[in-house]
Amino acid sequence: MSQKVIDLLNKGRSRELTAISQYMSQHYELEDTDFGKLAAKFKEIAITEMKHAEKLAERILFLDGEPTSKPDALPKKSQQITNMLTTNMALESTAIKLYNEAAMVCAAEKDQISKELFEDLLKEEEDHLNYFENTKDHVDKLGAAYLATLTG
């Protein structure tokens, strides 16, 4: 199989590992400051990202590659909620761009399974981006009143 595809799978895995670290770090911070509803959603998304990282690793192993265990960035900590959402939107946007491009490369390399994997992950990343954008929009428009609904 193509080393180019294995490299893209590892690039995606590295991105997923970053997202896991970021969202779990935010989950802990939000939980600690009594934003339980938002914390729970971030944890749920982090778990989905963990599943993505696992799927990518399984495909890499199938192709006789070695899955990376290194995230491509360190988590940002002690951010305000609006900054957390901005950070998360950037992570998801980067993943969406990467997965769209990777799917095209996989098609060119005649690796339909890896192409479909990237397309499947892409759907969930778009859902995550939509959630973060909508939440940030609510926070921007409604401020403290909306944030109060995220406590507990």
d(CA 115, CA 5): 9
Q: Tell me the CATH class for 3-71+79-148.
A: mainly alpha
Written as six digits, the tokens of 9 are: 């799978």
Q: What is the dihedral of CA 42, 47, 48, 51, to 10 degrees?
A: 160
Whole-prediction pTM: 0.95
Q: What pLDDT sits at residue 67?
A: 98
pLDDT of residue 152: 81
AA letter at 96: I
Domain boundaries of the chain, sorted by first residue:
3-71+79-148
Q: Residues 106-145: pLDDT tens digits?
A: 999 999 999 999 999 999 999 999 999 999 999 999 999 9
Q: What is the pLDDT of residue 1?
A: 67
DSSP 125-141: HHHHHHHHHHHHHHHHH
Predicted local confidence at residue 19, as pLDDT: 98
Angstrom distance (rounded) from CA 82 to CA 127: 18
* Separation CA 98–CA 19 (nearest Å): 14
- What percent of the chain has a predicted confidence (pLDDT) above 90? 98
Indicate if the alpha-carbon torsion angle 81, 87, 89, 91 is positive or negative.
negative
